[in-house]
Amino acid sequence: MLRRSPRALPLSTEMEWSLENVREMVAGGMQSIRECEMCALAIGICVLLLFMWYCYRVGREHGSSPLRSRYLSGSSRIGGVVGGFRSKGKHSLLEEQNGFAFCQSSECFRCTSAGESLNQRLYHSLQDYAKRYTWSGMGRVHKGVRDQGRYLNSKPTIQRPEVFFLPDLHSAPFFSREVQRHDVELLEQSFPTLLAEFESIYHQPPARSGSSLPPGWKANNTPRGQWWTYYLVNQGTPLVLNVRRCPKAWRVLGQLRTFIANNVFGNACFSVLTPGALIAEHYGPTNVRLRCHLGLKVPPLCELVVGGEPQCWSEGSCLLFDDSFLHRAFHEGNPEDGPRVVFMVDLWHPNVAAAERQALDYIFTPGRLEDREGK
């Protein structure tokens, strides 16, 4: 019995069905690609916006801009300069009496007693930093913040910083120049430049009638004699008018690798002691820095005593010391010897790690703790 072969579909029908499927598949693929492109574009825009928002928040809150950019924006940040010092709104940070300027700022860490309120603000600022960045490498900083009350309120000792103590840090009254060799050599090479700029600002006429101080100079309280300072950076804030008068000294600061430029423990100034002057014994605010004195003019009978160890300055040479130790300075020379003059800068202690420096810059950014106190 013969079987009938199945009836074959016309060739044209098979081709039409195949071409129709291909067209549908291609159209569907193109639509999917367009939808994916739109999704990818939308996601990319969202990621970009989030990144820009993050950069804005970090830049606004961290406030760790380089020294140069801080100077360029200094006039808007400082809010006006009076005689080289900050003024803020109706509350002046200075009071001048017979040409002498006395600090009355609630923002000054040297003039504000450390207490429970400060300890709490330090801890909250450290938590903010850890949430934004990391806890890695914060062991000593955390320990220091946690135990500040014990460190700062202990019985008087030879070393007792007034604001912040970083534990387990090598301590000595004086340090070898080798620990910050690059910056020490740079300062000593700049000795003629710094001396010339000192002469230019020191011999200016008084800022106003009845004042004995040239523009930008500050007179500090001393038991006897005169101690004048001319700040380029005061507690982490550049003083714009003073900087403009000393552009070469400012450039030298910008070349230093370990200058504390972004927190309240950083200062740079010309310091003058007149014959017969005495700076009474006192402690500095922290042990995370080394104070560097470059001798510009050093008459006989001038001495610095740190932790009971006396040292003499030398013209053109740097002296490194930890000012969290009890220290004093005096000039017992004759009036004809002239003043003792040093250029003073605050450098990081060599054993403070980079991660710790970044955290301390964040915690002690000028104004941060005061802003938190007002919240």
Least confident piece of the model among 104-108, 153-157, 279-283, 302-306: 104-108
| pLDDT value of position 22 | 61
Per-residue model confidence (pLDDT) at position 94 = 38
Instruction: Give residue 108's pLDDT.
Output: 59
For the segment 64-71, the average pLDDT, to the nearest whole number, is: 49
Quote the tokens at residue 293: 């004195």
Contact between residue 269 and residue 230 where contact means Cβ atoms under 8 Å apart:
yes
What's the whole-number mean pLDDT along residues 20-45?
72
What per-residue confidence (pLDDT) applies to 207?
Answer: 72
> Is residue 267 classed as helix, strand or coil in its secondary structure?
coil
**So what's the pLDDT on residue 333?**
94
What is the C-alpha R_g of the chain?
32
Model pLDDT, residue 41: 80
Rounded CA gap, 164 and 61, in Å? 21
Per-residue pLDDT band for 249 (boundaries 50, 70, 90) equals very high
Specify the pLDDT at position 147.
82
Residue 117 pLDDT more than 80? no
Residue 62: its pLDDT value, please?
A: 43
Q: How confident is the model at residue 101 (pLDDT cuts 50, 70, 90)?
A: very low
Identify the residue with better confidence: 125 or 328. Answer: 328
Residue 155: predicted pLDDT: 59
Greatest mean pLDDT range, 4-8, 12-16, 257-261: 257-261
Q: How far apart are CA 255 and CA 257, in angstroms?
A: 6
The pLDDT of residue 338 is 96
Question: What's the mean pLDDT when you consider all of the chain?
Answer: 80
Cβ atoms within 10 Å of 101's Cβ, excluding its own: 22
Q: Which residues contact 168 (CB under 8 A, 6 or more apart)?
A: 140, 143
From CA 54, how far away is CA 346, in angstroms rounded?
Answer: 32
User: What mean pLDDT do residues 183-198 have?
Assistant: 98
Place of tokens 């009890």: 326
Q: What was the pLDDT predicted at 293?
A: 98
d(CA 44, CA 37): 10
Does the pLDDT of residue 7 top 60, yes or no?
Answer: no
pLDDT in tens, 128-149: 998 888 888 888 998 888 887 7
| Whole-angstrom distance, CA of residue 153 vs CA of residue 175 | 26
Do 65 and 57 touch, CB atoms closer than 8 A? no
The pLDDT score that the predictor gives to residue 75 is: 39
How far is it, in rounded angstroms, from Cα 134 to Cα 356? Answer: 11
Each residue of 268-322: pLDDT tens digit?
A: 999 999 999 999 999 999 999 999 999 999 999 999 999 999 999 999 999 999 9
Q: Which residue has the higher pLDDT, 241 or 93?
A: 241
Which among 250, 220, 239, 254 has a CA at the least distance from the CA of 329?
220
- Report helix, strand or coil for 294: strand
Residue entry with tokens 């220091």: 144
Of the listed ranges 16-30, 40-54, 103-117, the one predicted with least confidence: 103-117
Percent of the chain with pLDDT over 70: 72
**Percent of the chain as helix, strand, coil, to the nearest 5:** 40, 20, 35
